[in-house]
């Protein structure tokens, strides 16, 4: 653990944490636009800047990328920081005057309009990079990236054409703070030619990347629940039974552990592909399997491996 001060308050933080993480763990709010817990810190939006005093020197740096260390003194809302954030928000407001999150943050900092000389582009993408990073770091599809530089910089598919690597998982639309990425699930689609129309069934479209993929239907309820390329990618990467990909999350039956039958051997835990089982130590040799449904994919591998049939 390391000790530091934030706004004069002495706090402790785990080694390896950033100033932003330490601040939020202690209920000290620092505004951000490009930060997400699931992604590596990026420092693009510059809203999370803070004053950092170390060894008698004061600097201004992004709190999402600056690691904590002993003796740091951090100030999050000084006049200097307030002016720096105001400038950043004025630029965002000039580019994206109709984006709700930008307008809200600007209003919190006393900005109702950007300077006239900045002009207004009326864009909705704030170039935070969240969608690009989610696609590359988490989904690992690599379907989109930044294109262009300076005032023409944008997020786009390769050469502005259909994103062939897009699996239509929707992560980009989910993480986008402005709502500019459009994901639509269509439950009745047709492919039409001069010779007539052919029913193509339910599909998901990501309009920004010119992508359409068929949605797979659940074998139990019949409802479409996920794009087929998304399921195929998970199937290649995860050690899950084939049956897992035929049933939607709502219809999956999650296993139950019979504590009286459980020996605590740990076989289920060691063979669980998603870490949904742990041995709960009750002291001594009394250990029982504990299921965590939030991690469980209902593949029932544990049921097959249990020697005492304690899982059903």
How far is the C-alpha of 202 from the C-alpha of 210, rounded, in Å? Answer: 17
The pLDDT confidence band at residue 90, using thresholds 50, 70 and 90, is very high
pLDDT at 122: 85
Q: What pLDDT is attached to residue 195?
A: 86
User: Residue 274: its pLDDT value, please?
Assistant: 78
β partners of residue 59: 52
pLDDT for res 282 = 66
The 10 Å Cβ neighbour count of residue 188 is: 9
Summarize pLDDT for 280-300 with one digit per residue, the tens. 876 666 788 888 887 788 888
Compute the distance between CA of residue 209 and CA of residue 156 in angstroms, rounded to an integer: 7
Average pLDDT over residues 251-269: 88
Calpha distance 226→72 (Å, rounded): 47
What is the phi/psi pair of residue 300, to 5°? 65, 25
Q: What is the pLDDT of residue 121?
A: 76
Predicted TM-score (pTM) of the model is 0.81
Average pLDDT of the residues in 164-184: 95
Dist. CA 228–CA 173, nearest whole Å: 18
Average pLDDT over residues 76-83: 95
Q: Of the candidates 138, 145, 136, 137, which has an alpha carbon nearest to the alpha carbon of residue 209?
A: 145
pLDDT tops 90 at residue 73: yes
């Amino acid at each position: 653990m390391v000790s530091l001060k934030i706004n004069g308050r002495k706090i402790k933080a785990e080694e390896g944490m950033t100033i932003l993480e330490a601040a939020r763990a202690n209920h000290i709010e620092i505004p951000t636009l490009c930060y997400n817990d699931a992604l590596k810190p990026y420092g693009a939006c510059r809203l999370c800047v803070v004053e950092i005093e170390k060894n008698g020197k004061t600097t201004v740096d992004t709190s999402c990328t600056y690691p904590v260390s002993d003796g740091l003194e951090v100030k999050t809302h000084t006049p200097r920081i307030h002016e720096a954030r105001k400038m950043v928000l004025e630029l965002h407001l000039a580019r994206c005057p109709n984006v709700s999150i930008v307008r809200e943050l600007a209003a919190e900092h006393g900005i109702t309009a950007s300077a006239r000389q900045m002009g207004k582009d009326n864009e909705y993408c704030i170039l935070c990079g969240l969608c690009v990073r989610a696609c590359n770091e988490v989904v690992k599809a690599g379907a989109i990236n930044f294109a262009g530089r300076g005032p023409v910089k944008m997020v786009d598919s390769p050469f502005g054409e259909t994103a062939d690597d897009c699996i239509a998982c929707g992560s980009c639309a989910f993480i986008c703070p402005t709502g500019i990425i459009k994901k639509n699930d269509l439950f009745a689609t047709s492919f039409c030619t001069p010779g007539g129309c052919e029913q193509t069934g339910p599909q998901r479209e990501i309009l920004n990347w010119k992508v359409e993929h068929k949605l797979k239907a659940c074998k139990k309820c019949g409802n479409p629940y996920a794009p087929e390329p998304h399921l195929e990618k998970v199937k290649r990467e995860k050690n899950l039974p084939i049956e897992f990909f035929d049933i939607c999350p709502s219809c999956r039956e999650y296993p139950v552990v019979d504590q009286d039958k459980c020996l605590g051997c740990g076989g289920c835990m060691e063979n669980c592909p998603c870490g949904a089982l742990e041995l709960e130590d009750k002291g001594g040799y009394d250990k029982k399997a504990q299921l965590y449904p939030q991690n469980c994919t209902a593949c029932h591998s544990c049921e097959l491996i249990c020697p005492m049939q304690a899982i059903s």
